[in-house]
Structure 1
Amino acid sequence: MTIIILVFLLAGLIKGVIGLGLPTIAMGLLSVVMPPSVAASLLIIPSLVTNLWQLLIGPNFIRLFKRLWTMNAAIILGSLVSPLPSLNSGSSWTQAALGWVIVAYGLWGLAAKAAPNPSRHERWLSPIMGYITGAISAATGLFVIPAVPYLQALQLNKNDLVQALGLAFTASTIGLALQLAKGDALAQLDYSQCVVALIAALVGMFFGQHLRRHISEIAFRRCFFIGLIALGVYMAWR
C-alpha cells in the first residue's frame, strides 16, 4: 500500500505541474513491482477521475468533441480490437514493450519542437492516430503514444490542448477498462487500493498545481522526460 501511495502521489504531482504523465509514471513504476495487468487495473479509477476533471474544466468541450470524435472512437476500437497481445494475455514481452513506449515518449518530449502541424490531414489522420493509441494502450496500459504528440502538433491553444488531452485520456481509460474487463484483472482488484490511489493522485495534483507557479515548467519537463527515458530503458532491459 505504501508503494501505491508514493507512486500516485508522484504521478499526480507531475500531472498537476505539466498536465499529463499520470498513467505513464504509474504504469512505469508499478509494473516494476507487480504484473502490468494489475498495475493497469489500479490505474483505471484515478485516471478516469483526474481526466474527467481535466476534460470538464475548459469551455470548449462540445467543439473539441465534434472535432476529435473520430479519434476518440478509434481509441476505444483499438483498445478492443487489435493485433497486439493485450495486458490480459500475460505475454512476456509486455513489460519490455512498456519500457520502449516510455523511452519513445521521453525522446519525443525532448524533441517536440520539430513536430509538423498535421491539421490539413486531420480528417483521415485522427482515426488512425486514435486506433494506434488504443492498440498500444491495450497492450501496455499507456495512453500517450501517438495521441499526445499528435494533439500537441495540432497547435491548439493552451486551454484547448489541456481539454483535448483530457478527452483522449478519458476515451483511453474507458477502452482499457473494457479490455481488462474481458479478463479477470478487474474482478480480482482490491477497490480499497483504488480509493487510496485516487486520493494520493488528487493530493499530488493539488501540490503540483501549486508548484507550477513557482518553478520553470520548461526545466521540469526536461527533467521529467529524461527520467522517463531512464525508467523505460531499465524496464526494457529488465
Structure 2
Amino acid sequence: MTALIGLESILSLALVFAVALLAGFVKGCVGFAMPTVMMSGLTLLLPPEQALAALIIPTLLTNTWQALRQGVRSAWQTVIRFRVFLAAGCVCLVASAQLVPVLNARALFGLIGGPILLFACAQLAGWRPVLGSRSSRVEAAVGGFTGLIGGVSGIWGPPTVSYLTAINVPKQDSVRAQGTIYGLGAVALAGAHIQTGVLRPDTLPLSLFLIPAALIGLAIGFRVQDKFDQATFRRATLLVLIVAGLNLLRRAVFG
C-alpha cells in the first residue's frame, strides 16, 4: 500500500495521515489554514510538488462541506456576494498554476507572509482597521493576489481571512464564505494542476488516501467552532494567521 500511494514506510503513512487529521481539525475550528498545515507537514516528508498534489482532493471535499453546512441557498448567496473576489481569484489562480514547474515561489511567500504576520499581530494588539464600504477594486485586487499565491502553493487562506476580517464579516458568514471561496478555488486548482501534470495517476492515490483523515478532523473542529463566540473566534483566527504568516516567512527563507 505504501508503494501505491508513493510513500516509503508505514511510519510515513501514519505521519501523513496525522498531518491531514490536524489540518482538518484546524480548518474546522477557524475555517481555513488546511493547505497551510498540510504543506508545512507534508513537505517534511515529501517533495513540494507531491505535497501540493496530495492536498488538492481533501481541500476540495472539506471546503464543499464547509460551504454547504448552512445549505445550498446560503452558499449560493455567498457566491453572489463575493463574485468579484471569486472571479479575480480564479483567473489569477489558473494563470499562476501554470508556473509551478518553473517558478521559485520563495519571494512570493515572503511578500505575503510578512504583511499577514504584521496584520494579525496588530489586530491582536488592538488595531482594528475596518473598510467603511466594500470596494469592487479592492475586492478584485485581494482576490487576484489570493489566486496568485494559491495557484503556486495551494495556500489562499491568509489573504482571504485578512480581507473578511477587515470588512467585519460575522463568524458564521465568514466560515461559509471561506468554504465557498476556497471550494471554488480548489476546483480551479485541481483543474489547473491536472493540466500542469502536478495531479496525475501516480500522485492522485495519496490525495485520495488523505480524505478520511481530513474529514474526521474537520468534523471534530466544527464541534469546537460551534462553541466559540464571535470574540473567541476572532482571536483564534488571528492566532492561526500569525502561525500561517510565520510559516510563509519560513518557506521564503529556507524554501
**TM-score class, shorter:** 0.7 to 0.9
* Alpha-carbon separation, structure 2, partners of 1:31 and 1:97: 18
2:138 maps to 125
Aligned runs of 1:190-229 on 2, under 5 Å? 190-212=203-225, 213=227, 220-221=236-237, 224-229=240-245
The offset of 1:171, in angstroms, is 2.1
TM-score (norm 1): 0.83
Q: What are the superposed Cα offsets for residues 140-165 of structure 1, whole Å, 9 maximum, x if unpaired?
A: 22112422211222222222211111
Aligned runs of 1:102-113 on 2, under 5 Å? 102=113, 104-112=115-123, 113=127
* Alpha-carbon separation, structure 1, partners of 2:238 and 2:138: 28
The alignment status of 1:140 with 2:153, answered yes or no, reads yes
The alignment status of 1:237 with 2:248, answered yes or no, reads no
Aligned runs of 1:144-159 on 2, under 5 Å? 144-159=157-172
* Alpha-carbon separation, structure 1, partners of 2:163 and 2:86: 13
CA 153–234 in structure 1, closer or farther in 2 if over 3 Å, else same = closer
Aligned runs of 1:28-177 on 2, under 5 Å? 28-58=40-70, 60-82=74-96, 86-89=99-102, 91=103, 93-95=104-106, 97-98=108-109, 101-102=112-113, 104-112=115-123, 113-117=127-131, 119-121=133-135, 123-177=136-190
Whichever residue aligns with residue 191 of structure 2, its letter is L
Number of matched pairs? 234
Q: What are the superposed Cα offsets for residues 40-88 of structure 1, whole Å, 9 maximum, x if unpaired?
A: 2111111111111111112522322222112212111101224x97223
TM-score (norm 2): 0.78
Q: 2:19 aligns with which of 7, 10, 14?
A: 7
Whichever residue aligns with residue 8 of structure 1, its letter is A
CA 210–163 in structure 1, closer or farther in 2 if over 3 Å, else same = closer
* Alpha-carbon separation, structure 2, partners of 1:236 and 1:219: 26
Identity value in percent = 26
Contact 2:50 2:198 in 1 (8 A): yes
Could you list the runs of 4 or more consecutive aligned residues of structure 1 that deviate by over 6 angstroms after TM superposition?
A: none
Whichever residue aligns with residue 108 of structure 1, its letter is F
Contact 1:28 1:231 in 2 (8 A): yes
* Alpha-carbon separation, structure 2, partners of 1:124 and 1:143: 19
The offset of 1:183, in angstroms, is 1.7
List alignment gaps of at least 5 residues for structure 1.
none
List alignment gaps of at least 5 residues for structure 2.
1-12
**Stretch moving more, 227-236 or 38-47:** 227-236
1:179 maps to 192
Q: State the SS of the aligned residue for 1:87.
A: coil
* Alpha-carbon separation, structure 2, partners of 1:103 and 1:2: 33
* Alpha-carbon separation, structure 1, partners of 2:163 and 2:206: 33
CA 207–225 in structure 1, closer or farther in 2 if over 3 Å, else same = same
The offset of 1:219, in angstroms, is 6.3
Contact 2:95 2:151 in 1 (8 A): no
1:20 maps to 32
CA 228–146 in structure 1, closer or farther in 2 if over 3 Å, else same = closer
Please give the root-mean-square deviation of Cα atoms over the aligned residues, in Å: 2.8
